[in-house]
Chain A
Amino acid sequence: MQRIALRRVSGCMRAAHSQSRMISSSRRLAAPTSLHTFTEEEQMLREAVRRFAKEEVEPKVREMDENESMDPKIIQGLFEQGLMGIETSADHGGSDASFTSAIVAIEELAKIDPSVSVMCDVHNTLVNTIFRKYGTDAQKDRWLPMLAENKLGSFCLSEPASGSDAFALQTRAVKDGNDWVINGSKMWITNSYEAEIFLIFANVDPSKGYKGITCFVATKDMGIKIAKKEQKLGIRASSTCTLNFDDLRIPEENIIGGIGKGYKLAIEILNEGRIGIAAQMIGLAQGAFDKAVPYTYERKQFGQAIGTFQGMAFQIAEAAIEIEAARLLTYNAARRKEEGLPFTKEAAMAKYYASVVAQKVSGSAIEWAGGVGFTRETGIEKFWRDSKIGAIYEGTSNIQLNTIAKFIQKEYS
């Protein structure tokens, strides 16, 4: 008998962004439910994204990976399905859905193609959220509809000399009349090749250190130069480019969150983004698992399906345990965020562990499929190549461990 999903009281939709659990008006009190509880909409979304990914994305996965290029029809498809404005309010042309809905969509996309998944993740959890949380009403009215309808966004923080040490960034913004003039470079920027809207972090006053960092929004036609497109090990269809800003002129009204607030903004947003990456990684692990395991029940050696040999069965069981554990970490972090509870530690744990599981399970998936797993044709090896980035972007694994350790030190000492 399925547990009743906690439903939102319809008048409180907007306010429910930080508090999605409302007590049902029936006799039933809000009994705590398992982490497998999703609202009807979240379940329907999962089903819809699963179908879309299977029918529209899957046929193109190999080609996009081999060509290192994202099919524009897929980008368009994501917009048409309302997957690029998941949490954006209906007033701004979005889907007005929960944060967990975004996590569900990212997970389902990753089961088919982690490259498509990360594009959707960055656009929703980093770009859209910055406008929703820190934009003025005028900025929201201006930018959110475009981002929901057809313009891809990009989040530009890292530079050649600043990755983990993000706030040592060197891109400079200098006031000139009513504009700011930006000079510098960004590196490792996801979505940059196809994006039209860019959130750029630049320092307006290096003497203030990180307190000078400010977030600017720019459009491509303002003069952003896309330089080198990286050739990567994995998520090859996701564009990763170097951007150059050469006297890029941005009007004052394009500052998001206020001068000098960029540091705080980036830290908070990356926290949420971490849960998105965790979702991508668990989807990836599940995708690899779902491709390899059925094969082990068909492939016979020594007169027996190889998946039924105890050694194999044990490995498969362990992989399933790890995926489930990573999934629970991810969804619990998502629900904590929705409830307005602190979630930094949980998000770091989810991202770290999910990336570890993704590597491990996708690696095992190749081995379970044997020679066939090693060829590019079946698409199993692609998951393993794609998984490596999980330990690197949006906060390296060492940074996650550092974050978690600090919480523990605070608690125990």
Chain B
Amino acid sequence: MRPSSARLLNILVPIKRSIDYAVKIRVNPQQTGVETNVKHSMNPFDEIGVEEAVRLREKLKDAVKNITVVTIGPTKANEMLRTALAMGADKGIHIEIPETLSPEPLGVAKALKEVVNKEKPDLVILGKQAIDDDAGQTGQMLAGLMGWSQATFASKVEVDEPRGVVTVTREVDGGLQKVECKLPAIVTTDLRLNEPRYTSLPNIMKAKKKPIEKLSAEELGVDLRPRLETVKVTEPPKRKGGAKVESVDELVAKLKEAGVA
């Protein structure tokens, strides 16, 4: 159990380097995945996570002791870590893996568990899912591995630092749900939680001096090899053209023709 007095918050924000959301993705000729020689950037939900951590610091001021960002990615992911530092994180951890390796949620969660044991954060903020695999599992798995509370799909996060509690408004199918979790806890971000800031030039320059620690999966004792084999990836069938109708009657007639109405 953690002492409940004079807690200073350590926040850990795992981030993933994924294909930029604006890229027109194409299936690769081998049909094993998409073409990856395209622009990559920080997973948008993870960016929201970094932003939320920085906002928590702006709100709680000195109560937030440290914001660390961590990524499991190839050498190029370093740039993304710098961007997170420029947004306001204090330090980065880079678990370097070969570019050909795409870690799976359970492997990532296991690696993050080791990082959590090392860094001892009070709050871990992850994106709800990565926009490349849309798995939506890592945060939940990490909570399971750690035995911590989890509040996923957050659209609002409030930390009561003296009480050691985080109150999260979750977006669920039926509407909004409010949960209160004792720290330490896992939160995953949803789209409406915040709008990430642009990295201003003075902050970009400051980010140069912030440290990035390099770790390897071996050092952490984690096996990141995939357990799943992707058999085939194809494009969805091309949209067939529709037709314009002039009136509601015509619409109903056409729907009847198509056997739908």
Contact = CB atoms under 8 A, between A and B. Distances in A.
Contact of B201 (A10, A40, A43, A81): A81
Interface residues of B, number: 17
B79 A40 contact: yes
A309 to B, nearest CB: 22
A96 B199 CA distance: 15
Interface in B196-215: 198-205, 207-209
B82 interface: yes
A380 interface: no
Mostly helix, strand, loop or mixed at chain A's interface? helix
B86 interface: yes
A173 interface: no
Interface string B74-118: 001001001100100000000000000000000000000000000
A51 interface: yes
Q: Which residue, A10, A47, A83, A94, has most C-beta atoms of chain B within 10 A?
A: A47
A41 B208 contact: yes
Where chain B touches its partner, the secondary structure class is helix
A269 B202 CA distance: 24
Nearest to B41: A47
Contact of B202 (A10, A52, A82): A82
Contacts of B76: 2
Interface in B178-193: none
A86 B205 CA distance: 10
Contact of B200 (A2, A10, A48, A101): A48
Interface in A330-368: none
A256 interface: no
Contacts of B200: 48, 80-82, 95
A5 to B, nearest CB: 11
- Chain A CB within 10 A, most for which of B86, B198, B199, B207: B198
Given A44-B82, A44-B86, A52 B201 contact: no
B79 A45 contact: no
A97 B205 CA distance: 7
Contact of B208 (A2, A40, A94): A40
A43 B205 CA distance: 11
A81 B198 contact: yes
Contacts of B205: 41, 90, 95-97
A82 B200 CA distance: 6
Contact of A44 (B79, B202, B209): B79
7 contacts: A40-B82, A44-B199, A47-B41, A47-B83, A48-B201, A81-B200, A82-B200
Given A47-B199, A90-B202, A95-B201, 9 more contacts: A2-B76, A10-B209, A41-B205, A44-B207, A47-B41, A48-B204, A82-B202, A83-B201, A97-B204
Q: Which 5 A-B pairs have the closest CB atoms?
A: A82-B201, A95-B201, A82-B200, A82-B202, A48-B199
